Amino acid sequence: MKQASRIQRQMEQAQTDLADRTVDATSGGGAVKITAKCDGTLKAITIDPESVDKEDISLLEDLVLTAANSALEQAKEISNEEMGKLTSGLKIPGLM
């Protein structure tokens, strides 16, 4: 039980740390930049004003979507890696 309690505290700390950690992803050669937090939320979206074409809004939407998905995937990989370090080799019901 001590080990489970220790792991729970470590996991809570890791989740707090991940909420502060960010990753960036771009699309369209830097026209769109997304910053995601490693807790799975988006922190910022930056769009280069030069890339906005009123005649082709769907392209901008695709660039935003691509960058957002890339940033969230990177954040998820980091989160899984960090949490995996805490639970490697352990079989804890409800966690894996």
CA 19 – CA 79 distance, rounded (Å):
9
Cβ atoms of 35 and 75 within 8 Å: the answer is no
CATH number of the domain encompassing residue 76: 3.30.1310.10
Q: Is residue 44 part of a domain?
A: yes
Is the pTM higher than 0.85? The answer reads no
Which residues are within 8 A (CB) of 76 and not within 5 positions of it... i.e. 6 or more apart?
A: 40
Q: What is the pLDDT along the chain (96 residues), one digit of tens a residue?
A: 777 788 788 888 888 888 889 999 999 999 999 999 988 899 999 999 998 888 999 999 999 999 999 999 999 999 888 888 877 755 556 554
Q: Is residue 80 part of a domain?
A: yes
**Structural domain tally of the chain?**
1
Q: Is residue 92 part of a domain?
A: no
